[in-house]
Chain A
Amino acid sequence: MADAAGIAVAVVRPLHAATLRYFEPGGPFATAAANLVGTPLPAPLTALQSGSEVILAWLRPTETLLLSETDAPLRELGERLANVAGGHLVDLTGGVEALRLHGARVSELLDRLGSVAMALPLNGARRGRLADVPVLALSVRTGEVWLAVERSYARHLCAWIDATLADFAPSMAHEPILGDHEAHG
């Protein structure tokens, strides 16, 4: 957890992740997935949150990322989609990390992570190069942004954000996002 003037960053834990892949938008797999999560799959460059607190984010025309802070929704979805043709669900839990950012200066922070095109509206999902690594930025709640990153790059992204936050409030010491041990180990 890092907290600097006007911004707080925390790792989302626990995080369960899965991806719906290789489906035709509007096809049987997409329809079944939409019925199960209770919401249409997100349109291009958008993200939304289902009633079961699953975040769905558009990655590409045939792929949607699913994130949840609880195990059950994705597990059940995986079981129910196992025999539906026209796509598949892959469990990515442990392979993806997510950071939750909120505060008045979130957009300032995003601007300092290195991508020139990261203007993120509410319910937007933008995949780009932040801190020199591929990151999916999404927003499904006002004033809050999630950054989903491949787990192996999370440490680099956190270190970059820590360095940036140090300049946001130079006189104020802040805790590293991953904690001292994780960040500097």
Chain B
Amino acid sequence: MSGYRLPAPAGIWVERARSVRFEFNGRRLSGLRGDTLASALIANGVRLVGRSFKLHRPRGIWSCGLEEPSSLVDVGSGARHTANVRATLLPLYEGLSARSVNCWPGVGFDLGALTGLFAALMPAGFYYKTFKWPSWRWYEWAIRRMAGMGRAPLEADADRYEEVAGRADVLVVGAGITGLAAAVAAARAGADTMLLSRGERTGGGLAWRDNAAVRELTARALALGVRVLTNTVAFGIYDHNLVCACETLIADGAAAPQRLRERLWKIRARSVIAATGAFERPLLFPDNDRPGVMLAGAAEKYARAFGVACGRRAVMVAGCDNAYAVAAGLSAAGVEIAALIDRRGPSQASEAARFRVVTSASVAGIAGGRAVRACTVASERGGRTERIDCDLILNAGGFAPAVHLHTQAGGRLRWLEEGAMFVPDGTAPGVVSVGACAGAFVRAAAVSHAAQAGEALAAGRDAPPAPLGGVGRCSPAAPSRRFRGRHFVDLQNDVSMGDLALAARENYRSVEHLKRYTTTGMGTDQGKTSNINALAVLGELTGQSPGAVGTTRFRPPFAPVSLGAIAGRRVGNLYRPLKHLAAHDWHAAHGALFESFGDWCRPAAYPRDGESLEAAAQREARAVRASAGLLDGSPLGKLEVFGADAARFLDLMYVGTMSTLAPGQARYGVLLNENGTLVDDGIVACLGPGHYWVNTTSAGAERTTGAFEEWLQCELTDLEVLVTPVTSRWANVTVAGPRAWEWLARAGFDAALAPTAMKHMRLRDSTLRGVPLRILRASFSGELGYEVNLPAEEAAALLEQLWSLAPEVGGVLYGIEALQILRVEKGFIHIGTDTDGTTLPGDVGLARGLGRKGANFVGRRSLDRPAARDADRLQLVGLTPADGRTVLPVGAQIAAHRPPATAEGRVTSSFMSPELGFPVALGLLTRGARRAGELLRIYHLGQEIEVRVVRLPFIDPEGARVHG
């Protein structure tokens, strides 16, 4: 081949004096500053750039923009490796290293191309039909190896991304001549206006024609205060005119550690003007995918903008008048036009052309596998064929308006027969289309309409209808005469006209079904140059007009968006918001190993030198049983409930009766939903008449608050009750163990809090050196326990004071892992871990006294349903391994025999018990309450373990330890 650099003045975007070195598939090449990778490859004579997805056919550069289906490359390396970058969009930079994808060992000699030998056996949907016998799994590994294009990076992304909120009265998407006109008009009418340009420059298709009107409009827009974002692709429009756009700041693969790579814009606009232009629509002919076949408009852009000729001798295959102008332009730039093959009959344009024109003809074949050498031209009516030597075949079938934003916003489309294109049918809610994307191709009329639309939307008026037309009569995509060879409709997914015909024969007549069966339009290009042709061919095959066939739904994203841009700052410690303890730094200073538990970042344990998390948890749990431990329980949910009807309300909310609590008394409560299912548990304490303190689970604070508010606002509106969440206001320092009180006494706590003076499940307000305390005797460990609630800002000071006294009582710090061990030894459930969305109070032993409760409560009626009394319900049990040493895997299934088998239950919590010296576990088991003593088997990832069902709790069945 054939591509070469044209002499100036061609190439207004490149700086001829500045050479840029780069690598492609290991070859060292050079281009010019201002080149894209694609233009530089063409200038270096590279034609074979990639391989197709299914058949590994050789592919070259097909377009000059984001519609590119073929020239995908992997760029960069290590943490800056980016897969499947379109060479047509990648700015050339010094040191760029790009590799072809989907080929091995190389793009020139690709073993995958052997699949082409069996192409006839691989029509659309062949894998659905063939890879099912004797089992899909026989083929799965190979299919998975072959699937996908490019290689995903193995290292974490080294670059930074951000998300920015934007607002505008009028947002104009597309900075071509009509977008500029609309933006200028809107801004002049006083609207706060934003303008998004896909490219580095404004002007769209005129930008590379050095158009004076574009320069003038751009200057006016800037002078009027229009905010112009370049290199910004609007990829989706969502409810209430929220437009998401991705701004590229640094090219893929390039290293710029001090700067952001991409910025995701979320722009809320009062009105949106879509000025997104149109894509060139190719014609179909045999072997139309060969390197050297490309969109005509792209070749013109390469010549004018980058100063690159895509070939020396070109044949133009035309279906529209625009092809003549493009051919003339290329001819003027020095590319020989061997012939223009017009599918249509003679016309004014064909008569006036200064190069050879063959009308009513089509390309019937192409010579050359990896590069075009010649083509065969045949009349559409039959007869003799003619061979024309050429190295470039330009394809100009017409245009497909970029109606994506319009349809994403809910707009409808209609088929315009003359231009063979879908255009917006009226406006979409909040979105007005102008210019080529509206089907308006007469420049003056389109610019005038765009200005009117901008002015109208700025003033809150409706925009006038778009002046349709201007491309003239375009021919259908498919030749009227059938030629031998594959006519590719979708180049990226290797979907041919034959595949569409097969789908139609197999009755995939809905366009949505056709798309999924053949995969047309499902590549990274989302069918920008193939969808309309696929619809037209389906229409022809099924005897319908393309308008009757309709289109598939255009969904975001309009163009690929990197995961980095979507994630923005949500990586590392910002991956998701975690709540932090008021005393977080104190715990860190004392060796805490933090983990996320629910929404909280909490100390899991406090490992000593060289100690594992598990060993630390065992040591801590053992020490709590032997002496005492100090836990930061601040995440426990805390609510204050006030009001004359507070007691009655809590009776309605909880299974337990709370209205009989005297001031200072506390009671365990279980919260159900309307289905009777457990959703939370906690402790309710009476602080005084009409004033209650409610502890929820750590994860259940918001859920419980929401449930309380919902019932109060929607159902129990006559109750006088006020609910205030105070979880962050109060910290909770828990001291547990037989020497817990001794520890608190040494710290100066009031003697009235001693176990002899204050019973279990009592709450007292107190002070310590002026700090208000709210102390609850309660226990989630089974040991004597004090939950000291205090203002959050005082938590670290109290922890420090108690910790300084720890040596005197043999006290330890313990984390959430030790707490889990302690509560499992006592058989205490953790809602959500030992329960699921079906668990009722009776399933976990919490139905005692339920029948005696006089007051109604949420979920009560559901407990009387037959399903609630089903004898086969899953019920809480204790489990121990028969061998006395295997810690049971959480989630392991209990079954009658090796899987596949019906599960009888599962292990829900499991730990080695430091107190007992053997593993203990909780589980849910069918009819579990009646199966104590049974030997069962559990299965987990091929492991089989014999377990014994035991009664709970594992320790201290009399509950004596809680009294110290």
> Interface on A for B, CB 8 Å cutoff?
19, 21-22, 88, 90-96, 110-112, 114-119, 131-133, 150-156, 159-160, 163-164, 167, 170-171, 181-182, 185
B585 A182 Cβ-Cβ under 8 A: yes
Tell me, rounded to whole Å, the shortest Cβ–Cβ distance linking B572 to chain A.
9
Tell me, rounded to whole Å, the shortest Cβ–Cβ distance linking A45 to chain B.
16
At the interface, yes or no: B722 with Cβ under 8 Å from chain A? Answer: yes
**Could you mark each residue 152-180 of chain B with 1 if its beta carbon is under 8 Å from any beta carbon of chain A, else 0?**
00000000101111110000000000000
**Could you mark each residue 884-906 of chain B with 1 if its beta carbon is under 8 Å from any beta carbon of chain A, else 0?**
00000000000000000000000
At the interface, yes or no: B739 with Cβ under 8 Å from chain A? Answer: no
Tell me, rounded to whole Å, the shortest Cβ–Cβ distance linking B192 to chain A.
11
B531-575 interface (Cβ within 8 A of A): 568-570, 573-574
New A-B contacts (10) at CB < 8 Å, excluding given A132-B570, A170-B258, A182-B585:
A21-B722, A22-B722, A88-B724, A95-B728, A116-B267, A118-B165, A152-B579, A163-B569, A167-B160, A170-B259
Residues of A within 8 A of B792 (CB): 94-95, 151
Q: How far is the CA of A22 from the CA of B640 in the complex (A)?
A: 13
B589 A94 Cβ-Cβ under 8 A: no
B584 A111 Cβ-Cβ under 8 A: no
Tell me, rounded to whole Å, the shortest Cβ–Cβ distance linking B212 to chain A.
35
Residues of B within 8 A of A115 (CB): 165
Residue of A88, A93, A153, A167 near B579 (CB, 8 A) is A153
Of the listed residues B259, B568, B589, B724, the one surrounded by the most CB atoms of chain A closer than 10 A to its CB is B724
Q: How far is the CA of A39 from the CA of B574 in the complex (A)?
A: 40
Residues of A within 8 A of B568 (CB): 114
A160 B569 Cβ-Cβ under 8 A: yes
Q: How far is the CA of A90 from the CA of B640 in the complex (A)?
A: 9
At the interface, yes or no: B793 with Cβ under 8 Å from chain A? Answer: yes
**Could you mark each residue 726-739 of chain B with 1 if its beta carbon is under 8 Å from any beta carbon of chain A, else 0?**
11111000000000
Residues of A within 8 A of B258 (CB): 170-171
Q: How far is the CA of A114 from the CA of B726 in the complex (A)?
A: 26
Residue of A93, A119, A167 near B791 (CB, 8 A) is A93
Q: How far is the CA of A97 from the CA of B815 in the complex (A)?
A: 26
> Interface on B for A, CB 8 Å cutoff?
160, 162-167, 242, 258-260, 266-268, 568-570, 573-574, 576-582, 584-585, 588-589, 600, 640, 642, 722, 724, 726-730, 791-794
Residue of B260, B266, B580 near A116 (CB, 8 A) is B266
Residues of B within 8 A of A91 (CB): 729
Chain A residue with minimal CB distance to B258?
A170
Chain B residue with minimal CB distance to A134?
B577
Chain B residue with minimal CB distance to A128?
B165
Q: What 5 pairs across the A-B complex have the smallest Cβ distances?
A: A95-B729, A152-B579, A95-B728, A94-B792, A185-B588
Q: How far is the CA of A155 from the CA of B581 in the complex (A)?
A: 10
List 13 A–B pairs whose Cβ atoms lie within 8 Å, in order of A's numbering. A92-B728, A93-B791, A94-B730, A94-B791, A94-B794, A112-B165, A152-B579, A152-B728, A153-B577, A156-B577, A160-B569, A160-B574, A167-B260
B577 A133 Cβ-Cβ under 8 A: yes
Residues of B within 8 A of A153 (CB): 577, 579-580
Residue of A117, A151, A170 near B728 (CB, 8 A) is A151
Tell me, rounded to whole Å, the shortest Cβ–Cβ distance linking B635 to chain A.
8
Q: How far is the CA of A150 from the CA of B730 in the complex (A)?
A: 12
Residues of B within 8 A of A164 (CB): 162, 569
Residue of A95, A117, A133 near B726 (CB, 8 A) is A95
Q: How far is the CA of A182 from the CA of B730 in the complex (A)?
A: 20
B569 A156 Cβ-Cβ under 8 A: no
Tell me the dominant secondary structure on chain A's binding face: mixed
Q: How far is the CA of A152 from the CA of B570 in the complex (A)?
A: 18
Residues of B within 8 A of A185 (CB): 584-585, 588-589
Indicate whether A155 sits within 8 Å of B584 (C-beta atoms), given known contacts A95-B729, A171-B258: yes
Residue of B162, B580, B585 near A156 (CB, 8 A) is B580
Residues of A within 8 A of B163 (CB): 112, 114
Q: How far is the CA of A155 from the CA of B594 in the complex (A)?
A: 15
Indicate whether A156 sits within 8 Å of B578 (C-beta atoms), given known contacts A88-B722, A119-B167: yes
Tell me, rounded to whole Å, the shortest Cβ–Cβ distance linking B258 to chain A.
4
Residues of A within 8 A of B574 (CB): 131, 156, 159-160, 163
Tell me, rounded to whole Å, the shortest Cβ–Cβ distance linking B680 to chain A.
19
Chain B residue with minimal CB distance to A14?
B793
Residues of B within 8 A of A90 (CB): 640, 724, 726
Residues of A within 8 A of B570 (CB): 132
Tell me, rounded to whole Å, the shortest Cβ–Cβ distance linking B361 to chain A.
54
Residues of A within 8 A of B727 (CB): 95, 152
Residues of B within 8 A of A170 (CB): 258-259
Tell me, rounded to whole Å, the shortest Cβ–Cβ distance linking B380 to chain A.
54
Residue of A132, A154, A159 near B573 (CB, 8 A) is A159
Q: How far is the CA of A114 from the CA of B166 in the complex (A)?
A: 10
Q: How far is the CA of A93 from the CA of B570 in the complex (A)?
A: 29
Q: How far is the CA of A154 from the CA of B581 in the complex (A)?
A: 10
Residues of A within 8 A of B160 (CB): 163, 167
Chain B residue with minimal CB distance to A152?
B579
Residues of A within 8 A of B729 (CB): 91-95
Of the listed residues B577, B580, B589, B640, the one surrounded by the most CB atoms of chain A closer than 10 A to its CB is B577
Q: How far is the CA of A94 from the CA of B798 in the complex (A)?
A: 15
B162 A150 Cβ-Cβ under 8 A: no
Chain B residue with minimal CB distance to A151?
B728
B266 A132 Cβ-Cβ under 8 A: no
B726 A116 Cβ-Cβ under 8 A: no
Residue of B260, B577, B584 near A132 (CB, 8 A) is B577
Residues of B within 8 A of A88 (CB): 642, 722, 724
A116 B165 Cβ-Cβ under 8 A: yes
Indicate whether A111 sits within 8 Å of B577 (C-beta atoms), given known contacts A93-B729, A151-B792: no
Residue of A21, A132, A171 near B724 (CB, 8 A) is A21
Residues of A within 8 A of B164 (CB): 111-112
Residues of A within 8 A of B267 (CB): 116
Chain A residue with minimal CB distance to B795?
A94
Q: How far is the CA of A93 from the CA of B600 in the complex (A)?
A: 20
Residues of B within 8 A of A93 (CB): 729, 791, 793
Chain A residue with minimal CB distance to B731?
A94
Q: How far is the CA of A154 from the CA of B585 in the complex (A)?
A: 14
Residues of B within 8 A of A163 (CB): 160, 569, 574
Tell me, rounded to whole Å, the shortest Cβ–Cβ distance linking A37 to chain B.
20
Residues of A within 8 A of B569 (CB): 131, 160, 163-164
Chain A residue with minimal CB distance to B257?
A170
Residue of B268, B579, B582, B589 near A117 (CB, 8 A) is B268
Q: How far is the CA of A159 from the CA of B580 in the complex (A)?
A: 12
Indicate whether A116 sits within 8 Å of B268 (C-beta atoms), given known contacts A92-B726, A156-B574, A170-B258: yes
Residue of B260, B578, B600, B728 near A94 (CB, 8 A) is B728
Q: How far is the CA of A24 from the CA of B579 in the complex (A)?
A: 32
Residue of B165, B580, B794 near A111 (CB, 8 A) is B165
Residues of A within 8 A of B722 (CB): 21-22, 88
Tell me, rounded to whole Å, the shortest Cβ–Cβ distance linking B176 to chain A.
27
Q: How far is the CA of A76 from the CA of B451 in the complex (A)?
A: 61
Residues of B within 8 A of A92 (CB): 726, 728-729
Q: How far is the CA of A185 from the CA of B600 in the complex (A)?
A: 15
A181 B585 Cβ-Cβ under 8 A: yes
Tell me, rounded to whole Å, the shortest Cβ–Cβ distance linking B126 to chain A.
45
B580 A152 Cβ-Cβ under 8 A: yes
Q: How far is the CA of A171 from the CA of B268 in the complex (A)?
A: 32
B640 A132 Cβ-Cβ under 8 A: no
Tell me, rounded to whole Å, the shortest Cβ–Cβ distance linking B183 to chain A.
20
Q: How far is the CA of A119 from the CA of B267 in the complex (A)?
A: 12
Residues of A within 8 A of B794 (CB): 94
Q: How far is the CA of A114 from the CA of B579 in the complex (A)?
A: 18
Chain B residue with minimal CB distance to A118?
B165
B584 A94 Cβ-Cβ under 8 A: no
Chain B residue with minimal CB distance to A97?
B728
Tell me, rounded to whole Å, the shortest Cβ–Cβ distance linking A64 to chain B.
14
B588 A112 Cβ-Cβ under 8 A: no
Chain A residue with minimal CB distance to B570?
A132
Tell me, rounded to whole Å, the shortest Cβ–Cβ distance linking A167 to chain B.
6
Of the listed residues A21, A90, A152, A160, the one surrounded by the most CB atoms of chain B closer than 10 A to its CB is A152
